Amino acid sequence: MAEEADGRGDLPPTPGSELQAPHFLQDVIFHGKFKLLKALTPQESSLCQHGLFFLDGQRRVDYVLSYPSKKPSSGRSGRQATHLLTENAVARSLRRGPQSRERHIPQHQGQRAKEPSGVDVELGCPAETLNGHEDQKILRREEFEGKLRDMGLELEKDEETKISGVSFVKIHAPWNILCREAELMKLKMPTKKVYEVKQLRGVVEKISSLVSKVVEPLHPQVEEHQPKNIKHLSHTFSREKQHLFDLSDKDYFFDSKTRSSIVFEILKRTKCKAKYSMGITSLLGHGVYTAAYPLHDGDINEENAVPNDRKLLYEEWANYGVFYKYQPIGLVRKYFGEKIGLYFAWLGLYTQMLIPASLVGVIVFLYGCATVNDNIPSMEICNTMNNITMCPLCDRVCSYWELSSACATARASHLFDNPATVFFSIFMALWAAMFMEHWKRRQMRLNYEWDLTGFEDEEEALKDHPRAEYELRVMQKSTSKDQKAQHKIKKLTCQDRLPAYMTNLVMMLLMIGVTFAIVFGVILYRISTKAALYMSANPVTRSNAQLTVKTTAAIINLVVILILDEVYGAVARWLTVLEVPKTDKSFEERLIFKTFILKFVNAFTPIIYIAFFRGRLVGRPGSYLYVFESYRMEECAHGGCLMELCIQLSITMLGKQLIQNNLFEIGVPKLKKLIRYIRSKQGAFQEEERQKKLQRYETDHFLEPFAGLTPEYMEMIIQFGFVTLFVASFPLAPLFALLNNIIEIRLDAKKFVTELRRPVAARAKDIGIWYNLLRGVANVAVIINAFVISFTSDFIPRMVYQYMYSPDGSMHGFVNNTLSYFNVSHFQQGKEPMDPLYLGHPVQMCRYKDYRDPPWSTTPYEISKEFWAVLAVRLAFVIVFQNVVMLMSDIVDWLIPDIPKDISLQIHKEKILLVDLFLKEEQGKAGNLERRSCVEGKENWSSSNNNNKHSSSTAAQPRSGLHTNSTNSL
């Protein structure tokens, strides 16, 4: 009986054990008795062997912390004995022995008890040596783990791992802790109440059923895609109303993602008393722990692996063989959480919407191919009988050239510069508006299906929770102030952040200046390389000089963009850390905004230069503009700058998608994983230990940490810019984006399932700031496409000539109308060609593309009236195009409601059902109270009657006695 009361069996009581009982016995004693182990099922035994459960096979591992450790060469230290005492019941019972009877010194709030000999029992090393950095980490780690136990979490350590130098702490959240945190986090959980989801009726139902049958092969083989006519009514979890929820199976009421997110919230807000220690994020930053992550559900490659959600995702989602199927978004949300589920839902919808855009873009391109032989301007350029001699493209080394030599460029430009381009630009603007509206409806439907309605109001308080770094700065500020004013310091003011704001402004301008400088350097490269190629004695080199310069310059731009993207991402994070935002949401939004600005400028500055500046700051023959007085500004080919814009856009877009988005995404994580594995093998453990199967938490340790969704969203936003901003010059952009995204979805899925540690599930109602960025890019796209059509292409000059200057209303004579004359005798001294002859004949007049008066007029080389007419029409087109497209987008926005009608009806129905449920509960409580009061009243009445009878009977006895006595006395 004494042993049973003590709760430790054959372990003798030790001094101080009564003080340590809350930590020492919390995993063992339940109401004064041992927790007996039940027989494990084969599935539970397999999960236990794979590291998903504690050693008792019952408590699930909800979270794992890893830290560096140095294993002793021989014997057990006092600290290892202490760890034996803090493990679970099975581990302690299996390891009972002399070492387990050592004194277990209690630890409270980071205090260390010492033996008289000067040896620290908790750390197992001499007390004199505990002054190093590593010892401080051990102290903070022990203190933090003690705080976690105080919070109700159960811990189990594993220091005898197969990974050299790494130990693990496994964390389990008991049922009562899960209930407490679910109530604090305001988690919505399904109740017992179910209701029927309203189904479509009539013709709509028949059409919907027909469509579902047609696309049935495209659905993945998961339960989430099966039609569900019945839905559980959800409500915010409350411990007082547990009877409303289906708690028949408490082990699976909270799924694995919910359990891990609950533990992570506890880890974030658990604070040590060590100096400036602010939860797990601070401990990770200071190296106290090396990693913190939830576990994946199981293996994916083993044939005999236990069925789990991860394996199902790998088969039906993270597999290139199912690229044609829809994504199992419900299962993705169930495994990774709402935030990641929303990203893949958005990416899937974006990819679907690219299908009609790609079809229209291909049709526009095919239209250009079909009409290239009927295009009169390109026919006039290619006609060798015109014999039009053009002015040199550079000074001295360049000679005169024939206009017919630009035939190939002119014909290629027509593929992208034709009347269908205007239609395609309008279509893409409306497509962007349709995409935004469609996503809002899809997002609202997911909110209803995932029980996120009303999420924003409930989570407002949790979102405002300060970050650890912010609290650290406030604490540092408090300690630097006068002691009397410490209690008044609760936040950082603008004055505190002013140096960080100034640093942000200066660095952002500097990075943008670096981008402009690199673009300017590429311009100088094109100018100098073109002059050098024209000086070559090889006629083939001279004839292909333009194409060589364009292609190599575009490749150089691509390489620079890829390098600067990585640099700008690191700079944006550094600048955001300097600002010390208060909340995680504020930190993420500021980081996203800075990264977007830098990467957007980096990707599109070369394209904007070619589209709007190249060829417009040239001057004219005899009065060219020069850079550094020696480099003449480059001009566009006669076919226009649209072809060069198309080359630059296609190389940049395809290069970023193939190299940065795909190669880096899958190659870098694999390389880092290989490096970590090689480093682990350099430890001093034997070959037979290497061949042992690693536990789940050991396997996940080799995976790449999850770095957030910002890189994933960012690459898609930049791609969205390529698809919409300059689509007038590259109608095939949606097609290339579609092909890339089909691979991107499966690539990202494979990365999340196999290459990354499991992220902590985060709830989110929408995609946040990314929607505002999309809306901004879509609005800017309308303006940029209007300017591209007006100023970069020849669409407006052709229309002006056809309807104002053409003698017969056709395009005949358009090329001659756009070319001005120049007298070669007016060349500046030293700028004329070294060879004054062309084809053996002296040249007196050459032509150049511009609207200027001829040299024989009264105002030679002055801007002509045609120039002002074309400019006026160009500006008018920009205004009309922008307003018409914006108006049509607003009409689309107005016609399509943000919330589907059936979803709004279901949400209203849920509110009514919730009210009815609580009314019935209150009525039931009132009835119970009334019945209880009636029962109590009856009991009181009967007891009072009994008391009265008893009192009356007892009162009657003295009277009879008195009467008897009186009688006897008489």
Q: Could you please report the per-residue DSSP string of 603-620?
A: HHHHHHHHHHTTTTS-EE
Residue-level pLDDT at 19:
35
Most confident of 342-346, 548-552, 742-746: 342-346
Question: Can you tell me the mean pLDDT for 606-611?
Answer: 87
Question: Can you tell me the mean pLDDT for 45-71?
Answer: 77
Q: How would residue 386 be classed by pLDDT, with cut points 50, 70 and 90?
A: confident
Question: Can you tell me the mean pLDDT for 473-481?
Answer: 70
Residue-level pLDDT at 869:
92
Question: Tokens representing 52?
Answer: 């998903």
Higher pLDDT, 84 or 582: 582
Q: Give the C-alpha separation, 633 to 523, whole Å.
A: 9
Question: Tokens representing 702?
Answer: 């080799």
How many residues in total does the chain contain? Answer: 970
Question: Tokens representing 673?
Answer: 């994983």
Q: Residue 738: which H helix or E strand, with range?
A: helix 733-750
Q: How would residue 48 be classed by pLDDT, with cut points 50, 70 and 90?
A: low
Q: How would residue 618 be classed by pLDDT, with cut points 50, 70 and 90?
A: confident
pLDDT one-digit tens code per residue, 433-463: 899 999 999 999 898 888 887 666 445 545 5
Higher pLDDT, 591 or 829: 591
Give CA 765 to chain center in angstroms. Answer: 14
Any idea which of 366-375, 535-544, 912-921, 947-956 has the lowest mean pLDDT? 947-956
Instruction: Assess whether pLDDT exceeds 80 at residue 580.
Output: yes
Using alpha carbons only, what angle is made at residue 126 by residues 124 and 128, rounded to the nearest 5 degrees?
A: 140
Instruction: Assess whether pLDDT exceeds 70 at residue 186.
Output: yes
Q: Give the C-alpha separation, 246 to 232, whole Å.
A: 10
Residue-level pLDDT at 597:
93
Q: Which residue has the tokens 């140095």?
A: 70
Residue-level pLDDT at 383:
82
List strand residue ranges (DSSP E) for 644-717, in order. none
Instruction: Assess whether pLDDT exceeds 90 at residue 170.
Output: yes
Instruction: Assess whether pLDDT exceeds 50 at residue 355.
Output: yes
Most confident of 54-68, 92-106, 216-230, 667-681: 54-68
- What average pLDDT does the structure give for the chain? 77
Instruction: Assess whether pLDDT exceeds 50 at residue 96.
Output: no
| Phi/psi-derived region of residue 343, left when phi > 0, alpha when psi is between -120 and 50, beta in every other case | alpha
- Which residues share a beta bridge with 236? 188
Residue-level pLDDT at 232:
81
Give the strands of the sheet with 166-172, arranged side by side: 154-158, 166-172, 63-68, 291-293
Higher pLDDT, 719 or 954: 719
Give the closest residue to 82 by CA, choosing from 35, 125, 135, 33: 125
Q: What string of H, E and C letters represents the secondary structure of 502-520?
A: HHHHHHHHHHHHHHHHHHH
Residue-level pLDDT at 97:
40
User: By percentage, how much of the chain surpasses pLDDT 90?
Assistant: 18
Higher pLDDT, 732 or 497: 732
Torsion from C-alpha of 115, 120, 125, 127, nearest 10 degrees: -90
**Sign of the four-CA dihedral 26, 28, 34, 40:** positive
Instruction: Assess whether pLDDT exceeds 70 at residue 20.
Output: no
Q: How would residue 962 be classed by pLDDT, with cut points 50, 70 and 90?
A: very low
Q: Give the C-alpha separation, 930 to 936, whole Å.
A: 10
What end-to-end distance do the CA atoms of the chain give, in Å? 69
Any idea which of 392-401, 566-575, 630-639 has the lowest mean pLDDT? 630-639
Any idea which of 121-130, 339-348, 818-827, 923-932 has the lowest mean pLDDT? 121-130
Residue-level pLDDT at 347:
94
Question: Tokens representing 339?
Answer: 């935030």
Q: Residue 196: which H helix or E strand, with range?
A: strand 188-196
- Which residues share a beta bridge with 190? 234
Burial zone of 863 (CB within 10 Å; 0-12 exposed, 13-18 middle, 19+ buried): middle
Question: Can you tell me the mean pLDDT for 275-294?
Answer: 80
Residue-level pLDDT at 931:
65
Instruction: Assess whether pLDDT exceeds 50 at residue 35.
Output: no
Question: Tokens representing 884?
Answer: 């018409």
Residue-level pLDDT at 646:
84
Q: Which residues, 6 or more positions from 387, have their beta carbon under 8 angstroms from its beta carbon? A: 402
**DSSP, residue by residue, 621-650:** TTEE-EETTTEEPP---TT-THHHHHHHHH
Give CA 339 to chain center in angstroms. Answer: 8
Q: How would residue 945 be classed by pLDDT, with cut points 50, 70 and 90?
A: low
Instruction: Assess whether pLDDT exceeds 60 at residue 175.
Output: yes
Other residues' Cβ atoms within 10 Å of the Cβ of residue 206: 11
Residue-level pLDDT at 456:
60
- Which residues share a beta bridge with 33? 30
Give the closest residue to 649 by CA, choosing from 550, 564, 741, 569: 550
DSSP label of 728: T
Q: How would residue 717 be classed by pLDDT, with cut points 50, 70 and 90?
A: very high
Higher pLDDT, 638 or 697: 697
Q: Give the C-alpha separation, 818 to 684, whole Å.
A: 79
Instruction: Assess whether pLDDT exceeds 60 at residue 348.
Output: yes
Instruction: Assess whether pLDDT exceeds 90 at residue 614.
Output: no
Residue-level pLDDT at 275:
52
Question: Can you tell me the mean pLDDT for 830-842?
Answer: 78
Q: Which residues, 6 or more positions from 634, have their beta carbon under 8 angstroms from its beta carbon? A: 523, 526, 527, 530, 614, 615, 618
Q: How would residue 122 be classed by pLDDT, with cut points 50, 70 and 90?
A: very low
Inter-residue contact 252 to 258 (CB < 8 Å): no
Residue-level pLDDT at 86:
40
Q: What string of H, E and C letters represents the secondary structure of 203-224?
A: HHHHHHHHHHHHCHHHCCCCHH
229 to each of 232, 712, 795, 844, how far by Cα in Å? 10, 35, 55, 85
58 to each of 46, 171, 216, 257, 274, how far by Cα in Å? 12, 13, 40, 18, 34
Residue-level pLDDT at 387:
79
Residue-level pLDDT at 126:
43
